[in-house]
Amino acid sequence: MARIMVVDDAAFMRMMLKTILLEAGHEVVAEAANGEEAVKVFATINPDLVTMDITMPEMDGIAAVREIKKLSPQAKVIMCSAMGQQGMVIDAISAGARDFVVKPFQKDRVLESIDRALSG
**Cis peptide upstream of residue 104 (ω within 30 degrees of 0):** yes
The confidence score (pLDDT) of residue 87 equals: 80
Q: What is the pLDDT of residue 84?
A: 61
pLDDT computed for residue 9 by the predictor: 96
Which of 45, 80, 87, 39 shows the shortest CA–CA distance to 63?
Answer: 39
Q: Would you state the pLDDT for residue 72?
A: 97
Task: Say what the pLDDT of residue 90 is.
Answer: 84
Q: How far is residue 55's CA from residue 91's CA, in Å, rounded to a whole number?
A: 12
Q: What is the pLDDT of residue 83?
A: 65
Radius of gyration of the chain (CA): 12
What was the pLDDT predicted at 85? 65
Mean pLDDT by 10 residues, the chain (120 residues): 96 96 98 98 98 94 96 96 75 92 91 93
What is the per-residue pLDDT for 16?
A: 95
Which helix (H) or strand (E) segment holds residue 91: the answer is: helix 86-95
Domains of the chain in start order, with CATH, are 3-28+35-48+61-119 (3.40.50.2300)
Amino acid identity, residue 117?
A: A
Q: What is the value of pTM for the model shown?
A: 0.94
